[in-house]
Each structure stands twice: as C-alpha cells, then as structure tokens.
Structure 1
Amino acid sequence: MSDDAPVPVGAMPDGSPILEARLAGDGLSVAVLSLGAVIRRLDFQGRPMVLGRDDPHDYVARTPQCGAIVGRFANRIAGGRFTLDGTTYDLPRNEAGLTHLHGGAGGFSRRNWRFAEAGARAVTLTYHAADGEEGYPGALAVACTYAIAGPGTLRTTLTATTTKPTLVNLTNHSYFNLTLPPDGSPAPTIDDHVIAIPAEAYLPVDEAQIPTGAVASVAGTRFDLRRPTRIGAQAFDHTFVLGRETVPEPRPVGRVTAPGSDVALTVLATAPAVQFYDGTHLARAGLGYAARSAFCLEPEAFPDAPNHPGFPSAVLRPGETYRQIIEYRFTRETAR
C-alpha cells in the first residue's frame, strides 16, 4: 500500500469499510472520508477551519451533513414532488414531513463513495446512484475531486452524467469557523465574523424555507451583504443570486473574516447561487455544537428549481455532463 492510499477508519452499518485519505501542501492539510465524500478536516497553516468529528461513525446518521457532498438535489424541493417531461416524481419528505432536503435521508451525504484515485495533493471519489434512488429518475454517475490547487486553495470539482432526464444540484456542506480552538475545545460563535456576498438579489422564502418564486433586490434589506457585514444572530438560511447561468470558471461568491483572526476565507464557484447558512440550528444535532458555532457557504442551483419555471433549470439529460467547481481559498491578513 502506498503512502497516499486511503486507510480504513471505521465501518458502515453493512460492514463496508469507511476509508480516509489525506492531502497536504501549500499550507493545507485535508482529511477526506469515503462516507459522503466528507471533508473531515481542513487545516490552514496548522489551524482548523471546519467542524469535524473524531469518530467517523458520527457521519453515518448524526451530523447535519458536516463536510459532505449533498445531492442528488441540494437544498429543498417543496412537498417532495416535481414534474419532469410530463411525469410527476415523489421524493421522501425528510424535513418535518413537508419538504425534501439535500437529496433525502438516503442522499449522497449518507452513501459510501469509492476512492477512484488518491495522491498526495488530490483525490477523486465516485458514486453511482441507481435509477429510482430516493425517488429520482435515471442512474447517475457522480465524481468528486478534491485538489490542492495553489497556496491555501482547495478546489472541488463535481461532475455527473445520467441515463435518463433527472435533476442534479450538488454542493459541499462544510461548516466553517475561522476562530476554532486548535485544542478541540468548544467552538465560539461566528456572530462576530464579517461576511461579504457580491449578490444584488436573493430568493425570498415562505415559512417552510421554500422560495416564493420571486427574485428580490437586496437593497435596503438585511440581505444586502455587498459590503462587509457582521453576521450576528440574524438567522440566515437564504439563497443569494449571483447570476442566471453556471459560469465556466469559479468567481467570488463570498468572503469572510473574523476579529482576532488573521485568516480570511474567500469562496469561489461556478454556480448561479450560494446558500448562506449561519448554523442557527446546529445544537439540534445533539453533538455538542452550539447555535451559530459555524457557517456554511453552499454554491448551488436555485432551490426548488423544478417547481419554478422562471428559475434556471437544474435538469440534466443523457449525453450532457453536469459540472460544478468550488474553491476555498485561505489567506493570511493583518489580525483584526
């Protein structure tokens, strides 16, 4: 076995091994699990940047998608139902019995992926979703590559192909905190973190966090994060609109700094939108996390896209290739 080969660190309920691979270089140290293609650890210059569990079995059912690739459709689908090419599909309603969230309880974050390639600076994991898995049409072949792409930069490349018309919307669901204690003690809240998102519009939602269909200007609202803004306790779990199309190369979708930290995080992506979640409900996981002890920036398609004709399509057809790139770029700055 080479030094770069993934090693077993646990087992799935069916006995199949959970493997872990490690990447290092350019100031980053990254641990990736086969389970959910999870980023278990992401350290920048020896300092932890994401929430992660010491026990890999916590990822089987307990974590709120910590570090995982979520899909087949990230975010929410109203009523767990959509119509495609005249056929209506019913999906599991795994959020309060009302909505379909992050691909369902058996979504990609709960599946054991396969390491197709593993090296010192990059790994590729693959997963094959069966036709009908979690109610979705089409067998889907998915690949996720994590690569150290330069100083302090982790690039995630997600691709997929299908045998039937289907929905695809993939993202990484890492929880970040730029002031995590290196000794593993409880994380402070991210209330004092400062965020900027270069979006001129956002998607208003109803009480079930489903988009109303409107695309609203951020001007004059608490969603205007175009200038650096203290996160505070505002209960953010909203989609910010970056454009109508997926772009070929990653563009900035969010930047975060924190008082007392000399690290800045810039997230870049090709997706048309980004979900900003401030971790308000993290305590519900029962894993010792306090509310707002980390935040997520999830580049993705518009939530509930198949039920809103005015939203950009999230449909993938045979012969097409879905592609999404996300970069996490850490830099050192003057302490704030």
Structure 2
Amino acid sequence: MNRAPDLNQIQSIMLNNAQLKVSILTLGASIQSVYLNGYEHSLVLGSPKLTDYLQGAKYFGAVVGRVANRTNKGHALIDGTTYQLPPTLPEAHHLHGGPAGTGSKNWSIIEQTNDMVQLQTPLADGEMGYPGNMVINVFYRLIDTTLEMEITATTDQLTICNFAGHSYVNLDGKGSILDHQLRIHADHYLPVDAGLIPTGEVTPTAGSTLDFNQLRRINRDDYPGLDTNFCLSLGRRPLQTVATLKAPITGLTLDYQTTEPGLQIYDGRHIQLDVESNINQGVLSAYSGLALEAQHWPDAINQPHFPPILLAPEDTYRQVTRYVFY
C-alpha cells in the first residue's frame, strides 16, 4: 500500500535574486512557479492547491525517479537478478519510479539561502521493487536569469538510477505551447510502440517529421504529437544547450541546458485542470505546457545498446540541468 504524503507537512520555499523569483515545494522537490523580473506570469505550470499535486498536476515540476520515464512492464534485470517494478496505473508499465516514486515524496530541507536550497530524500532497499538504499539530493540555485537544478544520488548496492525534472514550460503564461517555436540539438530519436516503449530503433531526425534541428513552430500538422526521447549523446557530457524554446507573444526565450544524453519532450496533451488550479489565469487544458525532461534514454535496462543507467556503490550519480531565460 502506497501512503500519500501528509499535505500538512509540505513546505514552500521561495528563492529570490535580482532577476528571478522561484517557488519550490518539498512535495516531489517540485518547481511550483518561476517569475522573471518584468513579467507577471509564471513561466512554468503550477497550482496553488497542494491536492492537485496528487491528482491532475501529478509530476508538475517534480523530480521523478529512481528511474524516470517508462520501463517495459516493470521488468528489470540487474546483475543476473530479475526485479519486478510495479506498474504506474492506468499504465501497464512502470513510469517515473512507480506510484510512490520521488515525485510523491515530501523531501527534507537540508540547507537554504536566499538563492539556493538543498533538498534530500532517502529510498529504502526494495522500495518500489528496486534494490539498494539510496540517498538523493537536489540543489536548486539561481544564477542571474538561470535556474539550475543539480541532482546527486548514491547507493549501497548495484541498482538502476535515472532522474528527471518534470517542469511544464509556457513562456507566455497562457494559451497553447503549439504556437511556441522549438529547436532540439538531436540527430536521432527513439520510435515507440503503442505503449510508448522504445522499439529499440535509433532513428535519424533528418528528413523526418521530428526534425527540430532548426527553430520551428510546435504544431500537429506533420505528426500526431510529441512524447518522444531525443537522443543527444551516448553518455553524460559537459553542460551544454540542447534545446531552445521561443514564445510568440512575449518573445521570451528559454535555453535548456543539461549534462544528460536524452531529452524527453512531452506536449502536455493530457493536461486538464480548472481555473482554480492554475497559478496563472485560465483553465489548464491540453497543450498548455511543454515538458522538457533531461534524462537517460527510456527503458534503458531492457535495451543493452542504450546508454546504461546502472549505479554502483562506489559511484555517484550527478545531473546538472539549467533553465536559462531571456
């Protein structure tokens, strides 16, 4: 039985510098809002109602894991031992660390200043079916107009580990992100089956409907939608810009930077929240926000030719991702 967190214990943390004001919830280590100096709307989707984060706003801004994205039927073979990870209903597959993954935890505040906070949560051996006791830290830092997220993790036995920040961005604060322009620095993407599990193919973006190597409008004229992993590299690398998002009304731009080898782009087609659940004005409906999720490639434990997601006791997992607004 997965017990929901006590919402009375959830804390809200406000980070400020001269350019940004960011609200972080201890629930899921979630980014609740991001305000850029000179603009009245949040640049990410969020709700003022904590109950939404257990329902329709689940994953909004959260750090999801211990393995983000989908694992085929929850099957994981680690060092010769098969582990069964629970499905994240209504899916048949294990998604974002399971029903009680890190996105559903109430994280502890370890350190806090005006422009930085460190949050931490433990995961027990066997929790959500995974081997190994883990300790995960998330550091949020404000640097001029940049929000930096650093995630670290350690384990006491061999396990799998793949975290992702799950913020939905809408730089105009209203309307559909289908009018935004998007560029992704990726030469390949992963085709998926009907259950959104990678087929194993690694397909060139060039000449395909998923070629975003030049800034182009996100629309659905050419393809059914985006819930796609773009392949940035074959392993973790130095921090660099991997995607750019530009808004049609405000002209605001986001440069999305990461160390990770994959970028899951989800167009928010299933978003549906009423007006009271939006820190900006208006109803949150399909395509109200674009999720950019830096991570390793999905279902990597079952795809031996994908970049590996094993974490050993002698190693430390470390991801750095930055949202650069201008």
- The bucket for the TM-score relative to the shorter chain is over 0.9
Q: Which amino acid aligns with 2:133?
A: A
How do 1:233-252 and structure 2 match up within 5 A? 233=220, 234-247=224-237, 249-252=238-241
Q: 1:241 to 1:285 in 2, by over 3 A?
A: farther
Name the SS of the counterpart of 1:191 in structure 2: helix
Counterpart CA distance in 2 for 1:313 and 1:294 is 30
- In the alignment, what sits opposite 1:178? 171
User: Is the Cα contact below 8 Å between 1:63 and 1:285 reproduced in 2?
Assistant: no
Corresponding residue of 1:9: none
Equivalences for 1:152-301 in 2 at 5 Å? 152-180=145-173, 187-233=174-220, 234-247=224-237, 249-283=238-272, 288-301=283-296
Q: Between Structure 1 and Structure 2, how many residues are aligned?
A: 312
Residue aligned with 2:249, SS: coil
Cα deviation per residue 1:178-199 (whole Å; 9 max; x = unaligned)?
111xxxxxx3111110000010
Q: 1:203 to 1:38 in 2, by over 3 A?
A: same
Quote the sequence identity (%).
Answer: 38
Q: How does 1:43-192 map to 2 (within 5 A)?
A: 43-45=35-37, 46=39, 47-149=41-143, 151-180=144-173, 187-192=174-179
CA deviations on 1:229-280 (whole Å, 9 max, x unpaired) are 1101341000001100101x31111101021212100100000010011111
Deviation at 1:57, TM superposition (A): 2.7
Find the residue that maps to 2:272 and give its secondary structure: helix
Q: Is the 8 A contact 2:33 2:46 kept in 1?
A: yes
Letter in 2 for 1:157: E
Amino acid across the alignment from 1:164:
Q
Consecutive aligned runs of 4 or more in structure 1 exceeding 3 Å deviation = 12-16, 284-288
Q: Following the alignment from structure 1 to structure 2, what is the Cα–Cα distance between the partners of residues 306 and 102?
A: 14
My pick for the range that moved more, 225-234 or 296-305, is 225-234
Contact 1:145/1:156, CA 8 A, preserved across alignment? yes
TM-score, scaled relative to structure 1: 0.90
Q: Deviations over 1:132-171 (max 9, x none)?
A: 111110001000000012x210110000000111111111
Question: 2:50 is paired with a residue of what secondary structure?
Answer: coil
TM-score relative to the length of structure 2: 0.92
The separation in 2 between residues aligned to 1:191 and 1:58, in whole angstroms, is 24
CA pair 321-63 structure 1, distance change in 2 beyond 3 A: same
Consecutive unaligned residues of structure 1, counting only runs of 5 or more, are 1-11, 181-186, 332-336
Instruction: Provide the C-alpha distance between the structure 1 equivalents of 2:126 and 2:250, rounded to a whole number of angstroms.
Output: 46
2:46–2:57 Cα contact (<8 Å) kept: no
Check 1:63–1:133 CA distance in 2 against 1; reply closer, same or farther (3 A cut): same
Q: 2:313 matched to 1:318?
A: yes
Deviations 1:63-98 (A, max 9, x none): 230000000101000011110011000011114341
